[in-house]
Each structure stands twice: as C-alpha cells, then as structure tokens.
Amino acid sequence: MKHSAETRRKISEAVQRAYDEKRLVPWAKGKTKADDPRITGFTGKHTDKTKAKISANRKGKCIGNQNATGHTPHNKNKPHPVHTAKWRKAVSKANSGPNHWNWKGGITAENRLMRSSTKHKEWSSAVLRRDRWTCQKCGYKGRALIAHHLKPWAKHRSLRFDVSNGQTLCRSCHCETHNPRLGTGKSKPPKRHSV
Ligand SMILES: [Zn+2]
C-alpha cells in the first residue's frame, strides 16, 4: 500500500510534533556502546591529535568517492589477468551467431532489408497518418513516433504490412510495450513528454 501525499505530510508533521514535544527521542541519543548493543560505531569524541591525523589523510581527497581524486585504482593500466584480448575473442565467438541465446535463425539480414524497404516505409507512414501522428497510449504528438506492430513482426509475416496491425506509439511507450519490466520511469503518462 502507498500513502497519498496528503497522508505522508500528516505522518511527517505528527512525527515532527512528537520530537518537538519530546515525546519521541532518537533511540541512540546520548547512549554509548555500553548502554545498547545496537550501537557499534564510534560514539565518543576524537582527540585533537586524531582529528589532525584524519584531516591530513583527507586533504585533497574527494570524500565519498575515493576514485575521484587522490586515489589510483590498483589495476590501473595493468592487463586483466583473465579478460585478455584472446579470452575476449574466444568468448565473443562462443556466444555469437547460432550460439547466441537470442539467435533466431539468421533473420537479421532479411529483416534489415525488409524494414528498410519502401513497402515498410509506406506502411509506417500510413499507420502514423491514420493515428494523426499521435501516440495511441499517452497522446504524445511530435517527433520520433514509431509504427508499432500489434501482432509481432517476427511471428505474423502476413500482417507485416497490414495497416490495421499497426499502432502509433512514442518511443517511451514503444519501449514499455516491448520491455514492460523496464518501464518508462513514468508513474502516470503525461500529456506530452520528451522522447
Ligand atoms: Zn507514448
């Protein structure tokens, strides 16, 4: 279940009020390791000597991202022990063509030809024209619209150039159609959005 924005605001206010009225106290406040086993980190105060040490060590470093400055990755400019050029080539060979999990029997060349054909272009513009250059899912109008095949291109050869099997979609709705798990990052389809 998700709280509405209104409910979330109310909860946040109630918690804030409880803190203000001292009804709610952070559980770790004023406690040390001896008081509560949940406290595992450093809870005391550093001595000036320790502070100076920490400070000197941090100088010139970007805290939080050790790779940004003042730190050289241990493997920089060193050859990878396993992923050598030879290894890469072998893996690439072992996983390409008919060995690839998504190999569909060498249809790419044929598809490329078909998809770039005049016939396909005509089909695509007929679909877009029929839908008045508007995404049929979110109502987006503009550039980069795609004529989507309702019944998949690969499985329904006879419907490849059937305008009734086409649907105008914007890029993000098209992406969502094919990869519902990826989604578009939108919670609600807006009237207009960039593609
Ligand atoms: Zn759309």
pLDDT of residue 64: 56
Q: What is the pTM of this model?
A: 0.41
In-domain check, residue 187 = no
How far apart CA 59 and CA 76 sit, in angstroms, is 22
Q: What distance in angstroms lies between residue 113's CA and the mean position of ligand 1's atoms? A: 27
Residue percentage of the chain with pLDDT more than 70: 84
In-domain check, residue 137 = yes
In-domain check, residue 55 = no
pLDDT in tens, 73-113: 788 888 888 888 899 999 988 888 888 888 877 777 777 77
Q: What distance in angstroms lies between residue 127's CA and the mean position of ligand 1's atoms? A: 15
In-domain check, residue 59 = no
How many domains does one find in the chain? 2
Q: What distance in angstroms lies between residue 136's CA and the mean position of ligand 1's atoms? A: 7
pLDDT of residue 170: 92
How far apart CA 184 and CA 191 sit, in angstroms, is 14
In-domain check, residue 119 = yes
In-domain check, residue 19 = yes
**Residue 182 above 60 pLDDT?**
no
Report which secondary-structure segment, H or E, holds 167: strand 166-170
**Residue 125 above 90 pLDDT?**
yes
pLDDT of residue 181: 62
Instruction: Read off the pLDDT band of 163 (50, 70, 90).
Output: very high
Report which secondary-structure segment, H or E, holds 13: helix 5-20
* Domain range for 21: 1-36
How far apart CA 151 and CA 166 sit, in angstroms, is 8
Residue pointed to by tokens 């050598």: 84
Residue pointed to by tokens 């970007």: 62
In-domain check, residue 124 = yes
In-domain check, residue 101 = no
Q: What distance in angstroms lies between residue 192's CA and the mean position of ligand 1's atoms? A: 8
Who contacts 53 (Cβ-Cβ below 8 Å, separation ≥6)?
Answer: none
User: 88 to each of 49, 123, 159, 169, how far by Cα in Å?
Assistant: 51, 41, 41, 38
